[in-house]
Amino acid sequence: MKSLRITLAALSLSAVSSLALAAGNPLSVHVLNLENGLPSPGVNVTLEKHVGKDWQPLAQGVTNEQGRIGELFPAKQAFEAGEYRVVFKTGEYFKKAGRETFFPEIPVIFEVKNADQHYHIPLLLSPYGFSTYRGS
């Protein structure tokens, strides 16, 4: 009986934490430099939504000292299902660091099917390669 209460309490806390996350900003990004294993501060990032045949600008931000933008989606706009694009301006970042890069911009296109969820887009970056995935 005690283990059932603990399980129910854990499920309740999980549901509450999911609601709290969904109530916050629905989109965050994180940039890590694979070359040195450190966060990438100062990377300009834009967010766009696919509308018809065009991409509509929604927001812009710059990664902080931890390489993060915790709230990229516009605060007063409804987060809706659809196709979005996050563009990392990596050429500017590497130029400031005195480095060359093969990828001056890295666009990451993703589809939102459930607007109640949080979407986290990490970018693992080096001058001549990158990787991304849906984070949490």
Q: Is 68 annotated as a binding residue?
A: yes
Q: Whole-angstrom Cα distance, residue 25 to residue 19?
A: 12
Strand pairing class (54-62; 44-51): antiparallel
Q: Is 93 annotated as a binding residue?
A: no
Q: Is 30 annotated as a binding residue?
A: yes
Select from 58, 42, 45 the least CA-distant residue to 112: 58
Q: Is the dihedral of CA 128, 108, 53, 24 positive or negative?
A: negative
Question: Which residues carry a binding-site annotation for substrate?
Answer: 30, 68, 133
Residues making up the annotated binding site are 30, 68, 133
